[in-house]
Homo-oligomer: A and B are copies of this chain.
């Protein structure tokens, strides 16, 4: 008997028929003797429906009062799905109770729309589990110190599930989703992409942040911090599939490095075409220049990803970084109006039509030549590299976006990822 947390995404909860399937699956785990806590998302489309209604009434909601109301509103989506799932379980003879985040409570800070979990009280949940009930908790939301409803931001249900698993010291947190695991890259771009049976926490972090949208990155950080074993698996297998088979399916995100395991050098190829590149050219190379450029950008709440500063020549240097494509125009305007006059740089340039492609792998740490294989492969395809950024377990390049698919396919092949992964 183990305490298991299941998380189901919006697609898995998308209709009463699908909710019934979720209940059948959960019931199977209960009947096998496990204690179950389930964290579902809102039914697919529901959060968007609610936010669209809000937008009709307030097209530009950005003050704290408005954000507070948006959170209270959006949170109802999950409150509906937990109630329906509890009824579906009860209808199958499985005792179940649902809670909103505020009832557990899941305590968060007051950053409406992107709140962070401070603590989770396990008293109520443990009492219900001890009484033989499945406990169903709303994903995506909590309550701030003043008793306001908060949401964790899009995809926050993953984070809720992992946080609940951490608080309850669950044996494993199973993230049921519409993909059957983490792949070496997106199979829509590389049909030969292979499912990974395991991936390290660090690699998963890089894959998630680089756009392999299987898991929300904050949930992976949370899992890493509290060492919650996390499994991504399909919610579209038949609910009555053999439990042992289901428990081994998908991709397990691990925290201990398995010495016995022959690890691939590169685990996967991530990519992202949501970014834009901006450069400040001919900046006088003196201390504090990075802050003078990036300070105003950060103050404007624009997230920065890759940052590159070239070595200087003639006392001047070029400074480039990438931002989300939606922030491109705002960033360019900011650089023109504030940064250019303040720094005495020569000019500003930018390109919104770029992509970022990254190779990720814990094996890179001990293997030389991985980056050079990447550069050679791209060169053989005549793809020009615009920026390079490296870390211990990933190497990213910024390319013209038209080369993205070609680059991903070539790299996937170059690193031998089309072979079935070793288990």
Determine chain A's interface SS by DSSP, over half rule. Answer: helix
Total interface residues in chain A, CB < 8 Å: 41
Q: Which residue of B lies closest to A133 (CB)?
A: B65
Spot the interface stretch: A72-80, A209-217, A345-353: A72-80
A57 close to chain B: CB less than 8 A? yes
Chain A stretch 1-51: residues in CB contact (< 8 A) with chain B: 16, 19-20, 23, 50
Spot the interface stretch: A85-93, A365-373, A411-419: A85-93
In angstroms, Cα B91 to Cα A69, docked, is: 12
In angstroms, Cα B80 to Cα A69, docked, is: 9
Q: With A50-B80, A65-B95 as given contacts, are A87 and B102 in contact (CB-CB < 8 Å)?
A: no
Q: Which residue of B lies closest to A20 (CB)?
A: B57
Contact of A90 among B19, B69, B84, B86 (CB under 8 A): B69
Contact B72 A98, beta carbon cutoff 8 Å: yes
Chain B nearest CB from A234 CB (Å) reads 22
In angstroms, Cα B265 to Cα A48, docked, is: 56
Contact B97 A57, beta carbon cutoff 8 Å: no
Contact A69 B53, beta carbon cutoff 8 Å: no
Q: With A57-B20, A65-B95 as given contacts, are A87 and B100 in contact (CB-CB < 8 Å)?
A: no
Contact A58 B88, beta carbon cutoff 8 Å: yes
Contact B20 A91, beta carbon cutoff 8 Å: no
Chain B nearest CB from A96 CB (Å) reads 8
Chain B nearest CB from A167 CB (Å) reads 18
Contact A100 B72, beta carbon cutoff 8 Å: yes
A103 close to chain B: CB less than 8 A? yes
Contact B70 A90, beta carbon cutoff 8 Å: no
Residues of B within 8 A of A72 (CB): 79, 82-83, 98, 100
Residues of B within 8 A of A148 (CB): 103
Chain B nearest CB from A181 CB (Å) reads 29
Contact B73 A61, beta carbon cutoff 8 Å: no
Residues of B within 8 A of A54 (CB): 83-84, 87
Chain B nearest CB from A120 CB (Å) reads 15
Q: Which residue of B lies closest to A138 (CB)?
A: B72
Contact B91 A147, beta carbon cutoff 8 Å: no
Contact of A65 among B65, B80, B90, B100 (CB under 8 A): B90
Q: With A66-B90, A76-B79, A90-B65 as given contacts, are A84 and B53 in contact (CB-CB < 8 Å)?
A: yes
In angstroms, Cα B70 to Cα A87, docked, is: 8
A68 close to chain B: CB less than 8 A? yes
Contact A56 B16, beta carbon cutoff 8 Å: yes
In angstroms, Cα B84 to Cα A95, docked, is: 34
A63 close to chain B: CB less than 8 A? yes
Residues of B within 8 A of A68 (CB): 97
Q: Which residue of B lies closest to A68 (CB)?
A: B97
In angstroms, Cα B403 to Cα A92, docked, is: 48
Contact of A70 among B70, B73, B76, B83 (CB under 8 A): B83
Residues of B within 8 A of A96 (CB): 65
Contact B86 A69, beta carbon cutoff 8 Å: yes
Contact B80 A73, beta carbon cutoff 8 Å: yes
Chain B nearest CB from A20 CB (Å) reads 6
Contacts A54-B83, A69-B87, A70-B87 supplied; 10 other A-B pairs, CB < 8 Å: A16-B53, A16-B57, A20-B57, A65-B86, A65-B95, A65-B97, A69-B97, A72-B100, A76-B83, A103-B147
Of the A-B pairs whose beta carbons lie under 8 Å apart in the complex, a sample of 11, sorted by A's number, is A16-B53, A23-B57, A50-B80, A54-B83, A58-B87, A65-B86, A66-B90, A68-B97, A73-B79, A73-B87, A76-B80
